[in-house]
Amino acid sequence: MKRQKGTLTPSQTMAALTTWWKLQTPEDAKIFIKTSVENGADYIKLMHESGSSMGVEFAKPTLELQAAVIKEAHAAGKVAVAHALALNDHLEILGLGVDGLTHTFYDQPPTRELIQAYKKNNAWLNPTLAAIGSLTTEGKTLAERFAHDPRVEGKVDGLDLERLCRCMNFRKESSKVEYAYESVRQLKKAGIDIIW
């Protein structure tokens, strides 16, 4: 199968990752935001991922560094959003003043503390429930249904069709897509904006 235009091989992806910024200090944050704005950034996205929902452990940036990025983004008139897939990571990054989360969490049920953290910031949530379903593998049946929908025929085939049917499968045993669904239910009921 021919590689689609614009897609990278795994080695190209790894090479591209080596060019990403590696912020260490609040001064790095200031330079990063200035450069990003000069290069036309519409918003700033932080990675605040412990890996705990996936049953692994990742090193997260310090809260001091994350706070500096958010502060500089806001000073530049930019929205600061964050990736976080665990409840505790959500609480930490919301506590620093982020404007929204680009995923919900799936490692435990939502809490009253979570709802208060969203309200305090007037933050929004883009839950990416299909991605969460893939992470837990609980969305496999639905993914296969959409992959074999007649409207997809002739538009996606071969390896790409196979990829649509695969799940990412990054979860610890106790993580559940239902926690993600419940976070959306509770946040929406509490008046938090849910972006689809």
DSSP notation for 65-103: HHHHHHHHHHHTT-EEEEE--SHHHHHHHHHTT-SEESS
- Domain containing 83: what range? 25-129+175-189
Number of domains in the chain: 1
Confidence check: pLDDT of 2 > 50: no
Higher pLDDT, 147 or 196: 196
Confidence check: pLDDT of 125 > 70: yes
Residue 92 lies in a domain: yes
Q: How confident is the model at residue 6 (pLDDT cuts 50, 70, 90)?
A: low
Residue 168 lies in a domain: no
Average confidence (pLDDT) over 85-113: 97
Confidence check: pLDDT of 17 > 90: no
Query: By the 8 A CB rule, do 129 and 115 touch?
Result: no
Average confidence (pLDDT) over 102-122: 96
The amino acid that residue 59 corresponds to is A
Residue 150 lies in a domain: no
Q: How confident is the model at residue 95 (pLDDT cuts 50, 70, 90)?
A: very high
**23-67 pLDDT per residue, tens:** 999 999 999 999 999 999 999 999 999 988 888 899 999 999 999
pLDDT of residue 4: 52
Q: How confident is the model at residue 10 (pLDDT cuts 50, 70, 90)?
A: confident
> Any idea what the CATH number is for the domain that residue 99 is in?
3.20.20.140
Residue 14 lies in a domain: no
Q: How confident is the model at residue 1 (pLDDT cuts 50, 70, 90)?
A: very low
Closest by CA position to 109, among listed 81, 88, 82: 88
Q: How confident is the model at residue 3 (pLDDT cuts 50, 70, 90)?
A: very low
Q: How confident is the model at residue 78 (pLDDT cuts 50, 70, 90)?
A: very high
Residue 149 lies in a domain: no
Kindly report whether the global pTM for this prediction surpasses the value 0.85: no
- CA dist 15 and 66 (Å) reads 25
Residue 30 lies in a domain: yes
Residue 90 lies in a domain: yes
Question: At residue 167, what are phi and psi to the nearest 5 degrees?
Answer: -105, 155
Average confidence (pLDDT) over 130-139: 80
Total residues found in the chain within this entry? 196
Q: How many CA atoms lie within 13 A of 190 on its CB side?
A: 22
**158-187 pLDDT per residue, tens:** 777 777 777 667 677 788 999 999 999 999
Residue 84 lies in a domain: yes
